[in-house]
Amino acid sequence: MAVIISGKAVSAKIRESLRQEAALLAEQGVTPGLAVILVGDNDASRRYVNNKKKGCEEIGLYSQVHELPTETTEAELLDLIARLNADANIDGILVQLPLPAHIDEKAVIKAINPDKDVDAFHEQNAGRILLGNARFLPCTPAGIMELLASEGIDPSGKEAVVIGRSNIVGKPMAMLLLQANATVTICHSKTKNLPDIVRRADIVVAAVGRPKFVTADMVKPGAVVIDVGMDRDENGRLCGDVDFEAVKDVAGYITPVPGGVGPMTITMLLKNTITAARAWIS
């Protein structure tokens, strides 16, 4: 039976530390500020935005939520970002993805001041991550590294497989594992013999967006299995990319869904916002 890595527990510890940091900044007259922009009426996105707002309130950050209708034009969105870039009360800007189809996500991300890009999606910040000189660490991969550290799991010398190659999780996750001296393989939809590759891994990060994609026969006994997925199974129940009930009997460590990676993503966003605020006063 695998050790269950609780993102809720690890997140709570980190947030307490962040709350103390925010209090120290407040004594210097600085309240870190986060602006979140939501375009459209996607229920999942709205839940994420609400959780981010609650996280700010919990640790003492200032937050703004800008809810825009689906028909908002790209020019209108870019104008709002420009105003937030110039707002001294805002240290971090996050545009909730996905955006409506008529808006160019790349143009929107590029418009955010890299110093306020607390999601670390801007091409300048992505480049810094690649070079190992990150201004901010991408939230979900950074949260996963914290989860590994919480259990004393050192990636150095281990074989790691990342399933998924998105700019948000897969690619930066591979970079952070590589920088931690793991030997990293990225698998994707064109990978041949994917189960055989995953079966070699000491650390598996599943970020493919397919319910229960990773099955017990794909997992090396004792492996660390990190589930980034947020899916619905055949009964409409929340699940991840990993068949948790089956895999937990094979793996050495595993994250649940919900309560695993999810809480860490928002916590790392809060951490990045405080980092951005510190940079402005240093």
Q: What are the tens digits of pLDDT across the range 70-84? A: 999 999 999 999 999
Distances (CA, A) of 10 to 3, 5, 259, 264, 275: 14, 8, 10, 8, 19
Residues 104 and 148 in one domain: no
Residues 165 and 244 in one domain: yes
**What mean pLDDT is reported for the chain?**
96
Task: Spell out the residues 6+ positions from residue 62 whose beta carbon is closer than 8 angstroms to its own.
Answer: 31, 32, 33, 34, 56, 89
Rounded Cα distance, 253 and 261, in Å: 13
User: Is the residue at 230 inside a domain?
Assistant: yes
Residues 94 and 154 in one domain: no
Of 91, 115, 117, 119, catalytic? 119
Phi, psi (degrees; rounded to nearest 5) at 271: -60, -45
CATH number, domain of 231, equals 3.40.50.720
96 is catalytic: yes
What local confidence, expressed as pLDDT, does residue 215 receive?
Answer: 98
Q: Is 148 helix (H, G, I), strand (E, B) or coil?
A: helix
Residues 101 and 163 in one domain: no
Single pTM value for the model: 0.95
Q: What are the tens digits of pLDDT across the range 167-177? A: 999 999 999 99
Of 91, 96, 117, 202, catalytic? 96
User: Is the residue at 40 inside a domain?
Assistant: yes
Q: Which domain holds residue 84?
A: 29-113
Residues 248 and 178 in one domain: yes
Q: Do 128 and 134 meet the contact criterion of CB atoms below 8 Å apart?
A: yes
Residues 167 and 233 in one domain: yes
What local confidence, expressed as pLDDT, does residue 46 receive?
Answer: 86
Residues 78 and 178 in one domain: no
Number of domains making up the chain: 2
196 is catalytic: no
CATH number, domain of 49, equals 3.40.50.10860
What local confidence, expressed as pLDDT, does residue 280 receive?
Answer: 75
Of 52, 171, 248, 271, catalytic? 52
User: Is the residue at 164 inside a domain?
Assistant: yes
Task: Spell out the residues 6+ positions from residue 79 whose beta carbon is closer than 8 angstroms to its own.
Answer: none
Residues 186 and 143 in one domain: yes
52 is catalytic: yes
- Residue 233 scores a pLDDT above 90: no
